[in-house]
Amino acid sequence: MKFVKFLLVAAFAVSLSLGSAMAESCCVKAKAAGKNCEHKCCVEARKESKTCDKCQKEASCCDKAIAKGKDCSHPCCVDAAKDKKACEKCNKKKEA
């Protein structure tokens, strides 16, 4: 029982660290969860079919697709979306 709990905690920690290592925008994250980003700035940007200047500064292919109200058609992104994830290849952390 204790071991199972440890596994759960470890899995949670890993998902947290993965989350912070990723640099997908709030919009890509929301899209991966099957939602639309609810940030006011992003909603406004989407209305004009644009990427949000604040949150999607470094717009990935997925950010651009979201701006157009579409799903990104890259095979890697489609695969990631199937897993309800943002594509790690295209939504990479900014190089230092």
Member of 22, 36, 41, 50 binding Zn ion (CB under 5 A): 41
Binding of residue 42 to Zn ion (CB under 5 A): yes
Min CB(41)–Zn ion separation in Å: 3
Binding of residue 86 to Zn ion (CB under 5 A): no
Binding of residue 87 to Zn ion (CB under 5 A): yes
Q: Rounded distance, CA 74 to CA 80, Å?
A: 10
How many residues are recorded in the chain?
Answer: 96
Binding of residue 93 to Zn ion (CB under 5 A): no
Q: Rounded distance, CA 32 to CA 57, Å?
A: 19
Binding of residue 61 to Zn ion (CB under 5 A): yes
